[in-house]
Structure 1
């Protein structure tokens, strides 16, 4: 009896080990901290994947750049060091101008337009990722970008020489056109950048300002509705191909839910963050006529420069999107 029981236990243990060995475990890196709604969405996505696949796929999320720096995430997934990542899409603009189209002022000024722009550009972006052995899963927009300062931005001349945190090359160009001095700073380094005087202002969303407690170092937020940039979540095509069909389907279903949920989270977070900024003493306003005119002029320069860099395919995609939107 004891021998039979022992054999049963050994068999059960062996089966358990075999099942565990058949399950896949992925590593995912995101540069954003746990307070960001993007990270909250990613972590929920990982939970959904585990549930949808019956534990056949587990995704371990490393947030806040704790595992891989922002600029290394995409290349790490390409090399197979990690299986999944999240990046700010426009940081890839040095690879192709299509990646920065969502940071062009006036192209998409609402969530509805930003989502339509994503749908219009998604086939091209998917193809570009596929050429590098990568597979986009979903993208989610940030709230519209505004300008944080420690003074009232009531005159466009205040931009002259202003050291502005600009998270991507297009924002850096925009700051240049305004007469400012762009500084590239990761989100996690924003408080230090302000405290050490490396930056005097920043262009980012209400969400980032709230998550980074912007009221500790600025006093005003100009809600300029400049553009609605996106984060993109992607995986290694090779890692995806190693999954069985049922697990692949579960992963894609969870990704679709994450995209839908993420866009709503962005809307909700924008409203909550604007309220939080004001509750903590930040003056929230829209640009006056003079500042708005300066922002428009810089935006026009940015768009013209993009048209000169963009290839025929990128320009055609944007033209088709604008025609659909009646622009």
Structure 2
């Protein structure tokens, strides 16, 4: 009987050794497999609420990237400046790696490069089609400006038309002179000052305390931004002055971008394009939604400003455009001229 047991014992021993080696190899490979499957997490931020256009853009982009990379990249958006970074500080925070990506309002980036003030020039692009055309025309210039800051432009977010929130109705130029206005960039502050108001360029996060103590009694903002901050609690009047349709920009750290594989860059680019398309599409219903929300919260909306108020603001805006042209240089001036020429041609063809 012993000769029969011996081969069996040898086979059993070989099996045990082989199985033991396999288990050992698997144990050694497990941490490697785990490391390979761990997602790449991107910290993203905006100073605006999650329900605002920039907030919804970050949420959409995060979802698109996660889906298109099958979870290999997971952006984590934060809102309301909870990351401690406002729009003006966003380029530095991304460049220094404190954030991998983020959204910044173009008007706050004027000191970085005056090209970012193009979209918020007074009474230049006052419809969705015009704002979209201007954004497409200047996209390469925006991208180059971000490259100089060590960043890669991902997508653009449009805002609904800028209006004037106020504590009292604004029916005459004299009413403009009673306002202490929060403006969203230096150009709009200059325009409001030229119209007779007191004005200062403030981030939204810095505006709320001034509204509460009464030192600010008007805010230049869209219905979108105002609704996100519940401005009706302080400012129950809104005049649709059609000042501008400014842009926000979402960019990411260039080193982070370059470290991606070609397939990952393609996925992120596709996610950014899909996000931007959705952002523009949202504008089709956004104004109506904001108007309904505002009226539901007791806001008195003046859909068309009085001719005297509109003229006073347009007159005040003329010099601001000239100041911007002197700051931005030849290329920016050419962009504006090209856009205005194309717009006039389009309007003539529509007649």
The answer to whether structure 1 residue 63 and structure 2 residue 82 are counterparts is no
The Cα of 1:309 is off from its aligned counterpart by: 2.3
Larger Rg belongs to = 2
CA contact (8 A) 2:180 2:199 kept: yes
Question: Which ranges of structure 2 fall in alignment gaps of 5 or more residues?
Answer: 1-15, 346-351
Q: Distance in 2 between matches of 1:97 and 1:26?
A: 28
**SS of the counterpart of 1:85?**
strand
Q: TM-score, normalised by structure 2?
A: 0.87
Select 1:169's aligned residue among 186, 191, 196: 186
Q: TM-score, normalised by structure 1?
A: 0.94
Select 2:280's aligned residue among 263, 267, 273: 263
Question: Which ranges of structure 1 fall in alignment gaps of 5 or more residues?
Answer: none
The answer to whether structure 1 residue 112 and structure 2 residue 129 are counterparts is yes
The Cα of 1:137 is off from its aligned counterpart by: 0.8
CA contact (8 A) 1:191 1:217 kept: no
Deviations 1:281-313 (CA, angstroms, capped at 9, x unpaired): 111112101101101111112112222323111
Match of 1:276 in 2: 293
The Cα of 1:26 is off from its aligned counterpart by: 1.6
Cα RMSD (Å): 1.9
Q: Distance in 2 between matches of 1:217 and 1:106?
A: 27
The answer to whether structure 1 residue 41 and structure 2 residue 66 are counterparts is no
The answer to whether structure 1 residue 295 and structure 2 residue 313 are counterparts is yes
**SS of the counterpart of 1:81?**
coil
Q: Distance in 2 between matches of 1:310 and 1:15?
A: 52
Count of aligned pairs: 326
The Cα of 1:151 is off from its aligned counterpart by: 1.1
Deviations 1:200-255 (CA, angstroms, capped at 9, x unpaired): 10110011121222221112100111100000000111110000011111000000
CA contact (8 A) 1:190 1:212 kept: no
Q: Distance in 2 between matches of 1:308 and 1:131?
A: 21
The answer to whether structure 1 residue 197 and structure 2 residue 235 are counterparts is no
CA contact (8 A) 1:144 1:205 kept: yes
Q: Distance in 1 between matches of 2:112 and 2:264?
A: 32
